[in-house]
Amino acid sequence: TLTAGPTREAIDPVRFISNHSSGKMAYALAAEAVQAGAQVTLISGPVNLTAPDRVELVKVTTAQEMLDASLAAVTDTDVFIGVAAVADYRVSESSDHKIKKTAETLQLTLVRNPDIIGTVAALPERPFVVGFAAETRDVVEYGRDKLKRKGLDLLFANDATATFNSDSIAATAIWSAGNSEDHQELGPANKHLVARQMLMLIRQRLDANKPETAQ
């Protein structure tokens, strides 16, 4: 299961808060995972992309919808990859009607959205959880912190401004190894090529995590 794209949080019926996520990385990962033989559910916010063949596409708009769809999907999934750039905040009460421009200033009250990947990682019967960290500075340092704080198994940290809407990506894979962390550089390369490297790494970490007695 993967989450993809931005989420969109309504201000009123014609306006919303969102971000520049294109969904390209998640769609590339979904396509490559299907090629590798996986059964893929792609929970996608609004993007201008066509879902790859043989992918089960679940279209959502808001973070809350993405959370609901994710919780429904993970009961039956081995790997959850949170690629979506989920809006951190939503408008506390969106207006039922278009807000008129009468006032000189306008205040919106924003409330925190649920943390989708954190919620999935905290489930008692959880899949292997993979996160992304789009940062604009101190990419690896923030990535390490995020891995721990959200309880993830593997994290791909990348530079947000260089990656959003781009066809290529450079990322640092970070995972915990005993009491410390290990990391590996991926790319810079086309998102499909990097997606294959990411899936290979997920496979390696999954195998490394298996108890020795397991077949």
Binding site residues, ligand C5P, CB under 6 A: 3, 63, 82-84, 86, 113, 115-117, 131-133, 146
Least separation in angstroms between residue 162's CB and ligand C5P is 16
- Please identify which residue in the block is written with the tokens 């919808």: 65
For ligand C5P, which is the closer residue by CB, 99 or 187? 187
- DSSP summary character for residue 116: H
Q: Give me the residues paired with residue 80 across strands.
A: 129
Least separation in angstroms between residue 215's CB and ligand C5P is 31
State how far the Cα of 4 lies from the Cα of 6, in Å rounded to an integer: 7
State how far the Cα of 66 lies from the Cα of 46, in Å rounded to an integer: 11
For ligand C5P, which is the closer residue by CB, 19 or 99? 19
State how far the Cα of 16 lies from the Cα of 49, in Å rounded to an integer: 20
For ligand C5P, which is the closer residue by CB, 148 or 210? 148
Tell me which of 19, 48, 158, 209 is the catalytic residue: 19
Least separation in angstroms between residue 103's CB and ligand C5P is 30
Least separation in angstroms between residue 115's CB and ligand C5P is 4
Least separation in angstroms between residue 52's CB and ligand C5P is 19
For ligand C5P, which is the closer residue by CB, 55 or 120? 120
State how far the Cα of 132 lies from the Cα of 155, in Å rounded to an integer: 5
For ligand C5P, which is the closer residue by CB, 99 or 201? 201
**Number of neighbours of residue 167 by Cβ within 10 angstroms:** 13
Cα–Cα–Cα angle for 106, 108, 109, rounded to 5 degrees? 145
For CA atoms 24, 92, 41, 183, give the dihedral sign: positive
**Number of neighbours of residue 48 by Cβ within 10 angstroms:** 8
Task: Look up 179 and say whether it is catalytic.
Answer: no
* Residues with catalytic function: 19
